[in-house]
Chain A
Amino acid sequence: MLKRFCTLAALAAATALTAPAALAEEPKSGGVMNVVIQPEPPGLMLGVTQNGPTQMVAGNIYESLLRYDTDLNPMPSLATAWEVNEDGTVYTFTLKDGVTWHDGEPFTAADVVFSADVFLRETHPRLRVSLQHIESIEALDDTTVRFTLKQPFGPFMGIFEVGTMPMVPKHIYEGTDFKNNPANNTPIGTGPFKFAEWERGSFIRLVKNEDYHVEGQPYLDEIYWHVIPDAASRAVAYETGKVDVLPGGSVENFDVQRLTELDNSCVTGKGWEYFAPHAWLWVNNREGPMADRRFRQAIMYALDREFAKDVIWNGLGNVPTGPVSSKTRFFDDDVRQFPHDPDKARALLEEMGYDGTEIRLLPLPYGETWQRWAEAVRQNLQEVGIEVEMVATDVAGWNQKLNEWDYDLAFTYLYQYGDPALGVARTYLSTNIAKGSPWNNVQGYANEEVDRLFAEAAVAFPDENRQSLYTEVQQVLVEDVPVAWLLEIEFPTIYRCDVKGLVDTAIGVNDGFVDAWLDR
């Protein structure tokens, strides 16, 4: 199956098609929504802090130029129109007229230039990688911004998601120490909700932005984000009706079925299309039996990934065919397949002469779900004769062990951000082998062919040329098994069925509740 990015000309049509679906029922205005947030975010200034909980709350306060539908097509947000020149190096955005910041100041093209070129270049390590492809960002007038690229950059239209490029107010931040600006405690954005109060350890309250630039929206009056540290207590909070929404990952997976069987309770695995969280086992390619490709292939055959999906993840998600998620652009499943086949695994181990060396397995310290998953993996590996020792750590310890390459197998999951150049290549490029980060080529895989294919694919133009390069790189990687791919995760969002318009876009509850309303 191939997934192609629509051409710009088709985008407006795609947007027009998705909008009426969301509006099938007449939304009702008013009401308060109660949502769980876990863990408590360290701050709400999305330009400064880029972790999950921050985005989940601040995605309501801040906006970017675009949003994305569940097929990753761009939708208008602060930009209403966009065009690209013939060779894909100049993109011109027309901004929405009459947009104001929460403090009443007008939002203009100067804010876009400041946000992307000054503020985020300093504070946003992930965006910084993409910004290296950009020659200049200019405000042509108050509502027109031009991005000139050094060369075509395939994923360019995908970097305008709110967590990737949040617009920050120039009039507040220009010339200040961005990270320590006291204004970070009272975030000002253009989004549908305004920051109201934060009782640390208890709740965060956002209120409706009465001057929001979309007429009649948002529908909700207020949102309360409740900080409830214990997973079982979060489940109880939902069960007793104190909260309306449990965003993905709020409760342990074994509670999901019980909670969704309650009255007026719904569940969806949607809303992860842009992030496409991809889970795998890091396999330390440098040492011991893991250095042998046959050993890594044996691991793939040994793992019963369908079982993990069905039992540990309640059937949500997909078993991946390789490094690129089926939700991400340029996915191709024309690769070697690894069904659960313990006999093949044993044969490969025998062929390579595996001597029974014990392997250390580092689970992700994110709670019971991940612990159980690790136990299932250990059982799978022991079935084919690989001895496994589990290593217990907390989050800081897990980070350090990966940063120092002190592991044999380790669980992780990473976001793909819609495009292999943004979220896939970083794991396999040999130039990304460096201690000190759990997000680069931690396994130590080096293949010149792969480096070349990824480098060419990122800047190839148009998309047809990118596809053939990405198809080839997927085939090479799946053959080499630099890491053992486990699951395309869909974290279940559990919510009251009378909450409408909650998960309509590719980033789900992270996109703010601009379209959400209560049918009560």
Chain B
Amino acid sequence: MQKLSFIAKRLVKAVFVLLAIVVLNFFLIRAAPGDPAQVMAGEAGAADEIFIAQLREQFGLDRPLHEQLLIYVGGIVTLDMGYSYRQQQPVADLIFDRLPATLILTGTAFVISILLGVLLGALAAARVGKWTDSLITVVALVFYATPLFWIALMAILLFSVQLGWLPGFGMESVGAGYSGFQRVLDVLQHLVLPATTLGLFFMAIYARLTRASMLEVMDMDFVKTARAKGLPPGRITRVHVLRNAILPVITLAGIQAGQLVGGAVLTETVFAWPGIGRLMFDALLQRDYNLLLGVFFVSSAMVILFNLVTDVVYTLVDPRIELK
């Protein structure tokens, strides 16, 4: 009951936080130089005053700013994210068209990074000071420090251009006409490089975090007691150390999960993955206000939601934590 009331309170707060985010973003994007009418007129290769005025009127940019804000917030309250005049489609359609692609990519990367990261971190902690630990620490540091786009390009060069093992761009083989299992297999093939590239960075963070956190816990009295009681080392690591060391990892996982919907701009760009991240980046360059605000809105909502989920998960993992 206490948990439910906590969740209800947080959800009510979340609505206000979201509205504040919408208003802030609304002004933030308008503070950037240029507007969508200028960008579109620029692309047309010719623009007279009539043309730009037409565009401004069409986009509603000729109205006073407070009026534009009221119209936008009014729409958001009824979950209407407006219309992208540049793409000539409703914003919701554009976002939900791209959402599956993004979720497949970021979701897979999430799973890869958390499984591999925690595993490697735990392994390093268990063998602290030995060559396994050094190797894992160095590898994690390298992946943490190397720019993602560079890893992506190198992966394409090696696995796609040189070896020809994996496709280097897109989400599926265009025009191949696959269906059913064949199509799934095809998407999986296309997924390997981008998901691994994206996963490596987070894997490195998880590995470092898990290792550090486990080493801290290993030094605590209850672990010493467990050892003194003669419990097998494997059981001590799994049940006593890992479980207590996992809280920071859950915090990070919560943050990463919140970003799942925001997509991965660099990875999606390099691998031509048709996801939200790329949509957002293009919208930013083109000053496609409604689309950009729509993506921000959806991703902010997800961050808030996953923060809440993370808090609830804390209580499941550590009974000492209470929700108030």
Contact = CB atoms under 8 A, between A and B. Distances in A.
Interface stretch (A58-66, A91-99, A236-244, A493-501): A236-244
A488 to B, nearest CB: 17
B38 A39 contact: no
A397 B167 CA distance: 36
A50 B175 CA distance: 28
A111 interface: no
Interface residues of A, number: 56
Contacts of B94: 200
Contacts of A237: 168-169, 272
Contacts of B175: 32, 34, 205, 222, 224
Interface in A433-473: 434, 436-439
B279 A51 contact: no
Interface stretch (B41-49, B253-261, B310-318): B41-49
A186 to B, nearest CB: 12
Contacts of B171: 202
Question: Which of A32, A224, A236 is most buried by chain B, counting CB atoms within 10 A of its CB?
Answer: A236
Contacts of B41: 125, 399, 437
Contact of A396 (B49, B161, B287): B287
Contacts of B6: none
B45 A414 contact: yes
A438 B88 CA distance: 24
Interface in B43-60: 43-52, 58
B33 A400 contact: yes
B34 A399 contact: yes
A173 interface: no
A396 B35 CA distance: 7
Contacts of A233: 156, 168-169, 269-272
A199 interface: yes
A176 to B, nearest CB: 14
B48 A401 contact: no
Nearest to A122: B54
Nearest to A179: B58
B135 interface: no
B45 A202 contact: no
A403 B98 CA distance: 34
Contact of B168 (A129, A205, A236): A236
A184 interface: yes
Nearest to A437: B47
19 contacts: A34-B174, A49-B44, A126-B45, A199-B274, A200-B87, A201-B97, A226-B169, A229-B278, A233-B156, A233-B270, A236-B156, A236-B168, A237-B272, A242-B168, A397-B32, A399-B38, A400-B34, A439-B45, A439-B46
Interface of A: 32, 34, 39-40, 42-43, 49-52, 125-126, 128-129, 179-180, 184-185, 199-203, 205, 222, 224, 226-230, 232-233, 236-237, 239-240, 242, 393-401, 403, 414-415, 426, 434, 436-439
Interface of B: 32-35, 38-52, 58, 86-88, 94, 97-98, 101, 153, 156-157, 160-161, 164, 167-171, 174-175, 268-272, 274-275, 278-279, 282, 285-287
Given A180-B88, A229-B282, A237-B168, 9 more contacts: A51-B44, A125-B46, A125-B50, A224-B175, A228-B272, A395-B34, A397-B34, A403-B38, A438-B47
